[in-house]
Amino acid sequence: MSDAETKRYYLTTAIDYPNSRPHIGTAFEKIGADVQVRFRRMEGASVFFLMGNDENTIKVPQRARELNLEPKAYVDQMAGQFKDVWHALDISFSDFIQTSEERHHAGCRKFIQAVYDAGDIYKGTYSGHYCNGCEAFKTEKEVAEGGGKCPNHPNTPLIWVEEDNYYFRLSAYRDRLLEHYLSHRDFIQPESRRNEVMSLVESELKDVAITRKGFAWGIKTPFDPDQTIYVWFDALLNYITGIGYGTDEERFRQLWPADVHVIGKDITRFHCALWPAMLMSAGLPLPRMVFGHGFVYRKNEETGEVQKLSKSLGNVVEPMDLVQQFSSEAFRYYFMSQCPFGGDGEFSFERFAAVYNADLANNLGNLYSRTLTMCAKYFEGRLDGGSTVDATQWRKGLEFEPLIGSLRELVGSFEYNLALQRIWREVVDAANRYIQETQPFKLVKTDVEATRAVLVNLADWIRVAAILIKPFLPRTAETFYRAFNFEETTPWESVGYVDALTPLNQQGLHVTAPLTEGKPSPLFPKVEVGAPR
RNA sequence: UGCGCCGUGGAGCAGCGGCUAGCUCGCCAGGCUCAUAACCUGGAGGUCGUAGGUUCGAUUCCUACCGGCGCAACCA
């Protein structure tokens, strides 16, 4: 692997249907992805982070008609809303692809033609329950749910329709897929998802219909203009059309294959079976990893019941509600610290507030407050007056280098909750304990220089904490870093985990944070537990 | 039904073969006063779902069962 290759990092998230607004579960995925790319950037990688919306579904023209809009106008409007939410959560995506864009259409046509030319597409007959109300086929499951009728149109009888479609020869890739899983242990992460996919591929891997007839909205099949590409086949292709496949081959070659597709556990099979088979057929390299994250469930505060987020249960929580009540930082912290990214997690307003108060207000925020206040009160913000002190004193008794090493490993492998837990226990808590043990507020009465030494150590502590939380809480981290004049040594933008290991530059060390009457304003004002909502 | 995950003090989690089973929140008692009534110390509280098995030894491995949950080809 060349140096240039190890340094570029291409990550994608699942593209979302635009017919409903993003909820906390959708946001969970994007934040987890964002933490990873922020971390990779800190590690020196040149990152490309792709997100987008999945717009070529039958529901789009339906919904657009209801709103009296052109489909394209509708999806553009929705994409704007999605991006607003992602920006509010500080999701640092590089590009946002909409599958209604021409660049996507062009890439899709090229790709399906390549698969066709490879002989993996054949004409067949698709049959199923068709609903005239939805203008779509219903799955057996949907029919069962509706008691033999369409769940959305119970008065419209379902009809059995047979239609000529094109099929992708997925079954032909069974052995090559299994071989790939075996030779690339990391292809499907976390481990628990592997078995599921492997047993699925071993047992049943049927060819799939990849086109539908008679839809105006969607991508026309190049070898048969009466047919449009079925949503799944087209959706997966965003990962390559978003980086220039079919429109900018040079760029595509630079970025592909993806380092990781971050997706929800429900769609692992598409990404681990269908997608690699499609790529094999088209002669393209496979992504290095598919990470299937867990889901966020809603805990009902009164009954204690844990439920899936769903519109019908009315328990959907919109990210903006929490961002407005607390902050994007609080939002990011809750989900990254409380929900293991590879597994499932729970959300309740009560718990959100409890975690916010305990970890952000009382620990992190308060550490910041008390440190800066003492610097201002005892030294008027200047810590550089005395003789040079040992600023690494605080690291004694702490296995510091191994800690940084394991944090890098944990963050790099998406184990965010464990990483945050260690940062809090071993860095933030330790700092509060250090203050209690050294008692600078007492010491200042007898030994000013010793007090200065303690505060210099705390300043370094703040600096290191800033670096460690940078991928998770970018704003808070920056505030921490700008509390002192650390930027004179290393600019904030270029600070990485390695800088936590370099010693503090005490030259001219002083407080740069804005203070009002010698105090910073609270970063995380405490909230009344149980009050919100 | 198939496949998968989970069941550890009041709540949320960690431990995944062997020191007195850890951590956070909550609770109780002290301490401190720099700080967002924050912080620090100590304490109470667990037969690690049940029944077997493997082993010198199991919360940790195996089997069965009970209970909860997820996925199963367009609801993150």
Q: 3-state class of A318 per DSSP?
A: coil
Q: How far does Cα A135 stand from its chain's mean position? A: 34
Higher-confidence residue of A424 and A191: namely A424
pTM: 0.93
Tell me the CA–C1' distance in angstroms for A533 and B25: 21
The confidence band for A385, taking pLDDT boundaries of 50, 70 and 90, is confident
Enter the tokens of residue A82.
Answer: 């999605």
Q: Per residue in A372-411, is it b (16+ CB within 10 Å) or e — as a string? A: bbbbbebbebebeebeebebeebbeeeebeebbebbbebb
In A103-252, at which residue ranges do the beta strands (DSSP E only) sit?
A: 121-131, 136-138, 159-168, 188-189, 208-209, 211-213, 220-221, 224-229
d(CA A375, CA A459): 9
Kindly give, in sequence order, each residue whose CB lies less than 8 Å from that of residue A308, ignoring residues fewer than 6 positions away: A295, A297, A298
pLDDT > 70? residue A139: no
pLDDT > 60? residue A3: no
Q: Which residue is nearest to nucleotide B12 (CA to C1')?
A: A338
Nucleotide closest in space to A369 (CA vs C1'): B35
d(CA A364, CA A329): 12
Tell me the CA–C1' distance in angstroms for A272 and B6: 24
Pairing of strands A290-293, A260-264: parallel
**What mean pLDDT comes out for the span A17-42?**
92
- Strand B nucleotides within a 7 Å radius of protein CB atoms: 2-5, 12-14, 23-26, 31-41, 68-76
User: Which range scores top for mean pLDDT: A184-188, A228-232, A389-393, A511-515?
Assistant: A511-515
d(CA A342, CA A345): 10
Tell me the CA–C1' distance in angstroms for A197 and B17: 30
A162, β-bridge pairs: A127
Q: What are phi and psi of A132, to 5 degrees?
A: -70, -25
Q: What are phi and psi of A228, to 5 degrees?
A: -110, 155
- The pLDDT value recorded for residue A369 is 97
Q: Which residue is nearest to nucleotide B75 (CA to C1')?
A: A310
pLDDT > 60? residue A137: yes
d(CA A369, CA A432): 11
- The pLDDT value recorded for residue A265 is 85
Other CB atoms within 10 A of residue A199 CB:
10
d(CA A253, CA A230): 26
Tell me the CA–C1' distance in angstroms for A273 and B67: 33
CA A501, A505, A511, A512 dihedral sign is negative
Residues counted in chain A: 533
Tell me the CA–C1' distance in angstroms for A445 and B27: 37
Measured between alpha carbons, how far is residue A386 from residues A382, A449, A487, A508, A509 in Å? 10, 7, 21, 11, 11
- The pLDDT value recorded for residue A1 is 45
**What mean pLDDT comes out for the span A309-331?**
87
**What mean pLDDT comes out for the span A500-517?**
95
Measured between alpha carbons, how far is residue A509 from residues A189, A381, A391, A469 in Å? 45, 9, 11, 22
d(CA A23, CA A481): 31
- The pLDDT value recorded for residue A212 is 85
One-letter identity of residue A189: Q
Enter the tokens of residue A408.
Answer: 């890098």
- The pLDDT value recorded for residue A306 is 77
Higher-confidence residue of A370 and A58: namely A370
- The pLDDT value recorded for residue A143 is 63
In A323-393, at which residue ranges do the beta strands (DSSP E only) sit?
A: 345-347
Kindly give, in sequence order, each residue whose CB lies less than 8 Å from that of residue A20, ignoring residues fewer than 6 positions away: A311
pLDDT > 70? residue A138: no
Higher-confidence residue of A481 and A218: namely A481
pLDDT in tens, A278-303: 999 999 999 999 998 888 888 877 77
CA A98, A101, A107, A111 dihedral sign is positive
A126, β-bridge pairs: A163
Average pLDDT, chain A: 89
d(CA A200, CA A194): 10
pLDDT > 70? residue A412: yes
Residue A205's closest CA among A234, A167, A163?
A167
Q: What is the ipTM for the molecules in this complex?
A: 0.90
Q: What are phi and psi of A527, to 5 degrees?
A: -120, 155
One-letter identity of residue A1: M
